Amino acid sequence: AQTMNYIKSLGLIPGQKAELEPMQSTKEEFIKFIATGKEEELSTHADHFVTNSAYGVASYMKGSLCLFELKYICGDEAFEKGMLSYYWKWRFRHPNPNDFFRTIEQASDLELDWFKEYWVYTKKTIDYRVDTCFEKDGQSVIRLKRIGLFPMPIDLKVNTDKTELNFTIPLDIMRGFKKSKELKVLDPWHWVNPIYEFRIDIPLKKIKEVRIDPKNQLVDIAPENNVWIRNED
């Protein structure tokens, strides 16, 4: 009865597929915990955490979100290939974190040591924003800004009056990019540079919206600044 009540509360009917991202609530709770200032590095030994809550968040939330972010970085196909390879290679054995990340690197053909360093050994946060959009020489210039100190590749959607354009901006330290038929690959973002600009051969008046992370996969602590909307005035 409780299960049926929960299903009804979501506006679903039995047999209907739930259009919910199972990691979104985990992501939101993790971001709330970061705001308390109690987070500790994921690499902290279990006996050395200052609070039980920090240990629980690191072990369960940040641990699971590590996989969520790797899937975003590598793409679905490469990530799933890496996870399957990791299982078959290390089942019934004793891998360490380096073994895991190396397996995902081999499957995706990307360098991921930078992600491991930031995610496991620091508390640095992800925060990007659409800084501004303007027109130059008949083209639209889109300027993005990295506010947080955790660099990440960026997926971006541009809605025009007639179509939808989807891009991915890899980091140069990835030494590659995720493979996707849906995304046009732009020039890499130099990871130390807080500003990134690119042009679209479309007048600014025809662009309706520019949105960072349209599938809501980044653990971005301030997603409200991820969108630019054209002022109709």
In the predicted model, is pLDDT for residue 110 greater than 50? yes
In the predicted model, is pLDDT for residue 63 greater than 70? yes
- The average pLDDT across 72-88 equals 97
**Would you give the end-to-end CA distance of the chain in angstroms?**
52
Average model confidence (pLDDT) across the chain: 92
- The average pLDDT across 18-28 equals 77
Q: pTM for the complete prediction?
A: 0.89
- The average pLDDT across 74-90 equals 97
Angle between helix 113-121 and 63-74 (nearest 10): 160
* Residue 18 binned pLDDT confidence (cut-offs 50, 70, 90): very low
- The average pLDDT across 139-152 equals 98
pLDDT of residue 42: 95
Q: How far apart are CA 90 and CA 87, in angstroms?
A: 5
Q: How far apart are CA 34 and CA 30, in angstroms?
A: 6
Kind of pairing between the strands at 184-185 and 164-169: parallel
pLDDT of residue 233: 58
pLDDT of residue 17: 46
- The average pLDDT across 8-35 equals 72
The DSSP secondary structure of the chain, one letter per residue, reads -HHHHHHHHTT--TTPPP---TTHHHHHHHHHHHHHT----TTS-GGG-SSHHHHHIIIIIIHHHHHHHHHHHH-HHHHHHHHHHHHHHHTTS---HHHHHHHHHHHHT---HHHHHHHHH----B-EEEEEEEEETTEEEEEEEE-SSS---EEEEEEESS-EEEEEE-BGGGTS----TT-EEPPPBPTT-SEEEEEESS-GGGEEEEEESTT--S-BS-GGGSEEE----
- The average pLDDT across 117-133 equals 98
In the predicted model, is pLDDT for residue 4 greater than 80? no
In the predicted model, is pLDDT for residue 6 greater than 50? no
In the predicted model, is pLDDT for residue 19 greater than 50? no
pLDDT of residue 121: 97
Q: How far apart are CA 166 and CA 212, in angstroms?
A: 10
Total Cβ atoms within 10 A of residue 86: 19
pLDDT of residue 7: 46
By C-alpha distance, which of 127, 97, 125 is closest to 113? 97
- The average pLDDT across 49-75 equals 97
